[in-house]
Amino acid sequence: MFTPVPNPTTNPVAAKFGQQDLIRRSASSVTAPAKRQTEVAKLIDVSKCIGCKACQVACLEWNNLTEEVGVNVGVYDNPHDLTANTWTLMRYTEYENAESGNLEWLIRKDGCMHCEDPGCLKACPAPGAIVQYSNGIVDFDHDKCIGCGYCIKGCPFNIPRISQVDQKAYKCSLCSDRLAVGQGPACAKACPTQAIVFGTKDEMKQWADHRIKDLKSRGFKNAGLYDPPGVGGTHVMYVLQHADKPQIYAGLPNNPSISPLVEVWKGVTKYVGLAAIGAFAAFGFLHHAVAGANRVTAEDEKNAERLTEGQR
């Protein structure tokens, strides 16, 4: 058993991290702290998950969210997608393993991956609306969010959702408020089978190794850890039975990275664009200085009068 994060004291404690620990801040720059906090991570072991949705309910309750009662559309996934109120969602896939001949019911808890290189933060135009703490948490500041939805375009995992009520973007915060006072995330706390565990990123990687060894002994020769390098690694990782095929887990990207379109948009376009505008303006000034104004001469007026004379 992975030793769970113990219950904290009920006495007030100082927050374990805050503004001084920011390493990235959207649409603005921050002075990175001299020393990075130990990186944390949540490890989701798909092979241990029984799809009970306790994490989903814990998330709703801790974050005081109210989701709509929907309908059944022929699957166990409820709601049917992440929403501004559903920050985590169990996604069920029936997978017929051609190699073993066995049916597998793959149940993946979807939600923010807390990328080391967060695409949402890169895309965000509002200063400070998205921040990254040195422990790896990527968090949204709703007071600063303007609801433009650029984070959605920046995210390689299709996670943030815009609320139809206040038009702001929402996603998993990795329970930054709980972590700040020494608790683990609510979902990990609620998970009955330790399919979700929480600790430092190094601990999680070690624990994953232990799990992968067990899975390999059970014939899952491609079992492995999902910590995609394309986004610099993530602070939510998966243990997958078939790490060679992340796509079968309800469309988990095989090699996620920030879309090149977003990179171009938020990179070269910005500089080239401003430069172009500046160049055009400068050209005008320069031209005016060199060529001077184009004025109508008295002769021009005369010519016009001569032309119109017959009409008088």
Residues 155-194 touching another protein, rule: CB under 8 A, are 158, 162, 167, 192-194
- Does 216 bind another protein (CB under 8 A)? Our answer is no
Taking the least distance from each CB to another protein, the nearer of 16 and 288 is 288
| Closest distance to another protein from the beta carbon of 246 (Å) | 18
- Mark residues 1-40: x for contact with another protein by CB under 8 A, - for none: x-------------------------xx------------
Q: Which stretch binds another protein (CB under 8 A): 5-13, 108-116, 144-152, 229-237?
A: 144-152
Determine the Cα–Cα distance for residues 130 and 139; give it in Å rounded to an integer. Answer: 6
Among 3, 96, 165, 289, binds another protein (CB under 8 A): 96
Q: Which stretch binds another protein (CB under 8 A): 6-14, 32-40, 130-138, 271-279?
A: 271-279
> What is the per-residue DSSP string for 208-255?
HHHHHHHHHHTT-TT-EEE--GGGT-BSEEEEETTTT-GGGTTS--SS
Number of residues that bind another protein (CB under 8 A): 97
Site for another protein in 290-309 (CB under 8 A): 291-305, 307-309
**Cβ within 8 Å of residue 211, ≥6 positions away:** 45, 47, 48, 223, 239
Among 8, 18, 70, 229, binds another protein (CB under 8 A): 70
Taking the least distance from each CB to another protein, the nearer of 32 and 304 is 304
Contact in structure between 162 and 169 (CB atoms under 8 Å): yes
Give how far Cα 76 sits from Cα of 60, 270, 275, Å: 18, 44, 52
- Across the beta sheet with 40-45, what order do the strands follow? 196-200, 40-45, 236-240, 224-226
Contact in structure between 100 and 241 (CB atoms under 8 Å): no
- Does 289 bind another protein (CB under 8 A)? Our answer is no
Site for another protein in 237-266 (CB under 8 A): 259, 261-262, 264-265
Phi then psi for residue 23, to 5 deg, are: -110, -20
Taking the least distance from each CB to another protein, the nearer of 96 and 99 is 96
Determine the Cα–Cα distance for residues 131 and 26; give it in Å rounded to an integer. Answer: 6
- Does 66 bind another protein (CB under 8 A)? Our answer is yes
Among 71, 98, 165, 289, binds another protein (CB under 8 A): 71
